[in-house]
Amino acid sequence: MAALILASLGIVFGDIGTSPLYSLQTVFSVEHHAITPTPAHVLGIISLVLWTVLLIVTMKYVTFVLRADHHGEGGILALATLGRNALRRHGRFAAIALPIGLAGACLFMGDSVITPAISVLSAVEGLGVLNPAFDSAIVPLSIAVLVALFLVQRFGTGRIGISFGPIMALWFVVLALLGIPHIFRAPEILLAISPTYAASFLAENPYQSFLTLGAVVLVVTGAEALYADLGHFGRAPITKAWLYAVFPALALNYLGQGAMLLRTPENAANPFYLMAPTWAVAPLTVLATVATIIASQAVISGTFSVTKQAVRLGYLPSFTVRNTSAQSAGQIYIPVINWFLLIAVVVVVAAFRSSASLANAYGMAVSTTFLATTALLLIYLRYSRDWSLARTAALGIVLAAIEVPIFVAASAKFLHGGWLPVLIGAILGSVMAVWNWGRGVVTRKRNKAEGTLREFYDEVHKSAPARIPGTAIFPHAAQNTAPLALRSNLRLNKVLHEHTIIVRVHVLQTPHVPIERRAEIQKAAAPVPGLLQVDLRYGFFDRINIPVSLTGAFRRCDLPGIDDINVSAATYVLSSMKYGKAPGRLWKRVRAELFVLLTRLSGSPVDRFHLPERQTVQIGQRIDI
C-alpha cells in the first residue's frame, strides 16, 4: 500500500499538486478583473478555495466517483459505458451516455494541450521573481522544456517514472513547509476554514465573486486524474494519498499564501514564489519546473490512454500504438497524437505567453468536464446503484450548486481564451463524427462486396478449388461476411490453403477479457475441410496480438486436426481498402477528403494485430465514398 501511495503521488496528483503555482495569482491578476487583496477578500477567497477542493475532490470524486469502476477501470469513457449499460437495462435513453462521455474525452484532450503550457509557464515564471531581467526568457525557455518533454515520449517513461513518486512527495512536503511559517505569522487566516467566509464573500461581492469562480476552478485542475488512473492503482491508494498527503499539503499552502497576503497584500502578483525566502526561489523554481513536467507527463500519458480507448471503441482511426515497456501494457506511445500535442502546446505558449492569461482557457475545459462527469455519475447512481430519485436529485442539486456557477463564470471568459478548449473539443468531435460516418459508409459497401459466408461456402463447393499445403489466416472485422481477400484469392487463383482460418477480432466495451475466455473456435457452418472460424475478443485496454492469441487458443482446443496447424509458419492475408471519392456537394467532398486523410493516419493492421511482416500479404479493392 505504501508503494502504491507513493507511486500515485507522481502519476495521479501531479496536475492538482502544481495548481498552487498559478491559482491564487490568477484570482488576483489584472486579466481576471483583479480582486483587491483586502483581509475580507483574502479570507473569503481562501475559504472558497478550501471548500471547492473539499466538495468537488473529496466529496464528489473520492466519495462517489471512485466507487464507479468498470471492471476495475476508471475514466470518463468507462463511466459513460456504465451509464449506457444501466440505461439499457432500464429501457431508458441509453444513447445519451456515450456522447456525454465522448464530449468529456474531447475536453480532456483539449486539457492536455493547456496543462503542459500553463504548468511549465507558471513554473518558469519563477525566474521573473528571482530577477525581472529574466522575463524575456520565460517563453523561449518554456517552449524548450516542452519540446524536450515531447521528444522523449517515444522512449517511454518507465525509467524516469520510478522517480516521479519521490519527487512529488518532496514537492508536497515543500508545499506544506512553505505555508506553515506564514500561518504562524498570521494565524487569523485559519478563520477561512469556516464556510461562512466563503458565503459572505459571495453575497457581498456578487459581480466580483462571480468572476472569481472562473479562476477558483483552477485549484481542482487534475481532479479527473484521480478517476482516470483508478485502474492503475485502485481506490484505496488514491484515497489514502489524497486524504493523508495531498489535501493537507494543498490546504497548508493555500492557507500560507492567504496568511502572507493578509500581512503583505502587494505580494498578490505572484503569491506562491513570494512565500519563499529569497535564497530559496532559485531551487524552488527548479523543483517547480520538474514537478510541472511530471504533471504534464501524466496528462500526456493519459491522453495516449484515452485515445487508445476511443480507437478501440471505434470513434478514432486505428493510429499506430507503440508499447514502450515489456512489463507494462499501459505504457504506450502514439506518434500522431504526440506531434499534434507538441505543435498545439508550442502555439498556445507563444500566443498566450503567461499562465495568468492562459488560465481563462483552462477554467473552461475543467468546468465543462466536471459537468459531464456529474451527469454520468447521476445516471450511474440512479440506474446502476438503484438510488432513489430523491437521493439522486439531492446529490445533483449540491453538485450543480457548485459546478454550474463555476461553468457559467468560466463561460463568461469565452472571448478571452475560453474558446480554446471549445475549439479543440469541436475539432476532435468533428473528427470523431466524420470517422464514424465514413466507417458506416465503408462497412455497408464492403459488406455488399464481400457477400455472406453462406454465399462463399456455396462458391467453394461449386468451384472445387485446388488445396495447397500450409495455413492461411484471414483477419476480418465483420461477423457474417467473407473476407474480401479470401474471396479474391479464390476467384483469381482458384485455390484454398489446406488450413484456412477466418479470424474475427472483437473489441468489447469492457476494459479486459481474461486470456482463457478470449478465443472461440468453430468449424465452418457448411462443411469445408480445413476451414475454421475463430472469434478473438479483447477489452479496450487489452493488447491485440493475433498470433499469440491463436497459438494459445489452439493449444487449449481439442478439435480433430487442430494440432496440424502451425501458427508460427502461417501466411496472414489482409483485405486492403483503397478509397475513392464519389461525386457530390462540396461539403460532402470535404467530408470524404477528411475521412480519406484519417485513413492515411491510421496505423497499419500489421502493427495493430502484431502480425509478422514477412508472413503478411495484402489484397486490395477500391471503394467509393
Transcribe 465-519 into DSSP letters: PEEEEEEEEEEE--SSB--HHHHHHHHHH-EEEEEEEEEEEEEESSS---GGGSE
pLDDT for the residue numbered 158: 56
Rounded to 5 degrees, φ, ψ at 399 are: -65, -40
Express each pLDDT in 571-596 by its tens digit.
Answer: 999 988 777 766 667 778 888 888 88
Residue with cell 501458427: 567
Q: Residue 239's pLDDT is what?
A: 92
- CA distances 202 to 197, 210, 552, Å, are 9, 8, 63
Nearest of 584, 599, 601 to residue 438 by alpha carbon: 599
For every residue of 120-150, DSSP letters joined together read HHHHHTHHHHH-GGGGGGHHHHHHHHHHHHH
Higher pLDDT, 93 or 426: 426
* Residues 30-41 pLDDT 10s: 555 567 888 999
Judge whether residue 525 has pLDDT over 60. Answer: no
The pLDDT assigned to 49 comes to 94
* pLDDT recorded at residue 222: 80
To the nearest 10°, the Cα dihedral for 26, 29, 30, 35? 110
> Which pairs from 393-396 meet CB under 8 Å and 24+ separation?
395/64
Output the pLDDT for position 46. Answer: 95
The contacts of residue 537 (CB under 8 Å, 6+ apart) are: 506, 508, 513, 517, 518, 519, 520
Backbone angles phi, psi at 13, to 5 degrees: -105, 15
Q: What is the pLDDT of residues 142-164, one digit of tens each?
A: 999 899 888 888 776 555 556 78
Task: Enter the C-alpha cell of residue 218.
Answer: 483552477
pLDDT band at 541 (very low <50, low <70, confident <90, very high): low
Choice among 195-199, 363-367, 399-403 with the minimum mean pLDDT: 363-367
- The C-alpha angle with vertex 6 and arms to 283 and 163, in degrees rounded to 5, equals 50
Helical (H) or strand (E) element with 621: strand 616-624
User: What digits encode the pLDDT tens for the residues 61-118?
Assistant: 999 999 888 777 777 888 888 888 888 887 777 678 888 888 888 888 887 888 888 8
Residue reference for cell 478548449: 421
> Which of 28, 66, 602 shows the shortest CA–CA distance to 321?
602
Cα distance between residue 258 and residue 251, in whole Å? 11
Write out the three cell numbers for 51.
471548500
What does the pLDDT read at residue 173? 96
Burial 464-490 (b: 16+ CB within 10 A, else e): ebeeeeebbbbbbeeeebbbbbbbbbb
CA distances to 161, 193, 252, 497 from 246, rounded to whole Å, are 19, 17, 10, 62
Q: Where do we find the cell 455472406?
A: 452
The DSSP annotation for 329-343 comes to TT-EE-HHHHHHHHH
Integer Cα distance of 377 and 385 in angstroms: 10
β 495-508/531-539 pair status = parallel
- Cα 238 versus chain centre, distance: 18
CA 55 to chain centre: 23
User: What's the confidence (pLDDT) of residue 102?
Assistant: 86
Look at residue 587 in the predicted model and tell me its pLDDT: 78
Cα 361 to Cα 343: distance, rounded to the nearest angstrom: 17
- Mean pLDDT, all residues of the chain: 85
**Residues with Cβ < 8 Å from 316, sequence gap 6 or more?**
307, 310, 431, 432, 435
User: Residue 31 has what pLDDT?
Assistant: 55
Between the alpha carbon of residue 220 and those of residues 4, 54, 109, 526, the distances in Å are 22, 10, 17, 60
83 touches 384 (CB < 8 A)? yes
What is the mean pLDDT of the segment spanning 373-402? 92
* Residue matched to cell numbers 468451384: 463
If one counts every other C-beta atom within 10 angstroms of the C-beta of residue 397, the result is 9
Helix axes 76-89, 281-312, angle to 10 degrees: 40
Per-residue pLDDT averaged across 180-207, rounded?
92
For residue 278, which amino acid is it?
T
Question: 3-class DSSP state for residue 287?
Answer: helix
Residue type, 447: N
One-letter amino acid at 349 equals V
Name 52's Cβ contacts closer than 8 Å, sequence gap at least 6. 216, 217, 219, 220, 402, 406
- Which of 288, 278, 328 has its CA nearest to residue 305? 328
Whether 305 shows a pLDDT value over 80: the answer reads no
DSSP-derived pairing of the beta strands 616-624 and 495-508: unpaired
